Chain A
């Protein structure tokens, strides 16, 4: 028996001052998000952001005096349950998605984990794309000094570079390439460009945002030629790479392998995302995980252009690529 579809939740995050609220205000003016409920989390005692987005109604919820990823995780569950309850009783307009704007210091993983672990929320909500804003002026320094920044970038499906006009085109392109190298699973755009919109940014199913291979990551959205650079400048131990397999994968064996890998190394696997050619399945299946958390796999409509190959992109901290590749090869033969 098939259960009803879930309500998508998009997480909007980004370091302090990177332009999250400005972007949210712009997104909410798009008709595609007219039916979205919004939950804003602010770190300070006095909440301002909900005034800045200029939309005060029953589907706008403010959580302040703490960060949803740590001190007020319980409040996040309660606020979302309350919103869903009011929606079911017709006390608020029937919103068709949720957008959560977190504080600039939030690690996305505990927020996703809360949505998944809560028995009520997990039966009503499904993760959509994670959108992360990156301030072009301060990005290099923040990536070097703030681990939250690396966590946010690693978890992103879409990265929006802000304030690129303040640093010039060369520095902006260098940042885009750096972000693409740090997270090959994400697409990077500039907030001032016109080649994206709310629908593209706020994908309803997280796993369906396209997966790029690291070899392609040196090319930004505008098609600029890749330049040779060190993709690991952001940290000596953080690396991204892709594992491929050109024969069909057994789903059961894959589940055993990935669950075992994340149990032992989940704290060092910042991100895993990919598409699988499963034995007996005509269409590809997308998998998508952040640290220990893997979202329910999703069926894609069709294979993207190119060879029908299983591709898994990893962003890891201190794990050798060769070891994961060797393990994947052996477990893929598990019968």
Chain B
């Protein structure tokens, strides 16, 4: 539970799985968690750049998603990233889209 807002439990995304016996997780130590977070932001920005959006870290606990015109939204996990990005940009984020795949080829 968050001691400030009293929210009980925050939904855990499968890419942020809690370290348990048998579970594959990059959440075991603070260092591992920070490294994964940094890497995730860098890779997500490769895709978001095609839509002029930028993702950045917020105190190691959340992410800030910003448009080129300065609109900003806070998100918790990858589960929230794509619907929020679609809403902010007004466009569909489709990994099957040939235009996006071509952009990724160009910027590889």
Contacts and interface: CB of A to CB of B under 8 A. Distances in A.
Genuine A/B complex: yes
| Size class of the B contact interface (CB-based, 8 Å) | 35 or more
A330 B96 contact: no
A178 B21 CA distance: 36
A6 B19 CA distance: 11
Given A2-B19, A5-B21, A259 B81 contact: yes
Contacts of B23: 296-299
A252 B36 contact: yes
Interface string B85-108: 000000011111000010011001
Interface string B69-82: 00000000011011
B95 A299 contact: no
Interface string A252-267: 1101110111011100
A255 B40 contact: yes
Interface residues of A, number: 46
B13 interface: yes
A167 interface: no
Interface in A284-335: 285, 287, 289, 294-299, 319, 323-324, 326-327, 330-331, 333-335
Interface string B22-43: 1111101000000010011001
A117 interface: yes
Interface of B: 8-15, 17-26, 28, 36, 39-40, 43-44, 46-47, 78-79, 81-83, 92-96, 101, 104-105, 108
